[in-house]
Amino acid sequence: MSRILADRLGYAFTRPDLLSQALTHPSVTHGRAPRKATAYERLEFLGDRVLGLVVAEMLFHRFPTEAEGELARRHAALVRRDSLARIAVSWGIPDYLLLARGEEEGGGRANPAVLADACEAVIGAVFADGGLDPARRLVLAAWAPLMEESPAPPKDAKTALQEWAQGLGRPLPAYETQGVEGPPHEPVFLVSVTVEGEAPVLGRGRSKRSAEQAAATALLKKVKS
C-alpha cells in the first residue's frame, strides 16, 4: 500500500521501510511497549526542519522585495497545522496511516493534528532516504500553489486582534496562561485572551505562542461572526 503512496509522491524509496515508519502513528507502538521515541516522531522532527528550510528558501526567492517580518508571516501560514493537513489529504496520507484502534475510533484519520504530523514524517522519510534534493522537489510541488494563494503577507491572529481592538478605541488584548495539559513530553498550553467588553476566550497550543494565536483566532471569529 505504501508503494502506491510513494508513486503519488513521485519518489521511489530505496528504503521503503522509512515510508512505512512515517505512516505508523505512535499510538500503535505506545500501547505495546514503554513510552519511548518512535521512528515516526523522529521522522516528524526531521521533516519539520526540512519543510521550514525549503519554505523559507521558496519565499526568499519568490518575494525578493519583502521585509523579514512579511516573509515570517507568510512562512508561519504555510507551515501551520492546517496547511500541512491540507497537503496530507492531497497526498492521500489518510488512506495509508496505521493507527491504534482507539486513535482510529477517536477520528485520528481525519484529525488535522495527526495529519500534519504525518505529513512532516513523510517529508522526513524522503529526506532520510534521498537527501535534500528530492525532499525539496516534494515540498516545492506541494507548497507552491499554497504560496500563491495570498497576494499580500497574511496577518497573524494576534496582530489582527490588536488592530481590531485599537480600531474600536479599546485597550490592547490581554493574554494569560491558564494551565498546561498532557504529559511533560507533549504539553498543551491553555491561554486565555481578553479584550475590554468581550468575554475571555481560551486557546490551546503546543507552545504558549501557538496557544495565544489560537485564542486570538477564536476571539476574532467570535466577534466577527
Residue 68 is among the residues annotated as catalytic for this protein: no
Annotated active-site residue in 120, 129, 156, 212: 120
Question: In whole angstroms, how far apart are CA 184 and each of 177, 189, 203, 207?
Answer: 17, 11, 19, 12
197: DSSP letter: T
* CA–CA distance, 97 with 80 (Å, rounded to integer): 20
Annotated active-site residue in 44, 48, 117, 129: 48
Measure the N-to-C terminal CA separation of the chain; round to a whole number of Å: 43
Three-class SS state of 111: coil
Cell 526542519, residue located: 49
Residue 181 is among the residues annotated as catalytic for this protein: no
Question: In whole angstroms, how far apart are CA 157 and each of 93, 151, 220?
Answer: 29, 18, 8
Element (H, E) at 34: none
Phi, psi of 181 (to 5 degrees): -110, 165
**Full DSSP string of 118-173:** HHHHHHHHHHHHH-HHHHHHHHHHHHHHHHTT-SSPPPPHHHHHHHHHHHTTPPPP
User: Which residues does the annotation mark as catalytic?
Assistant: 48, 120
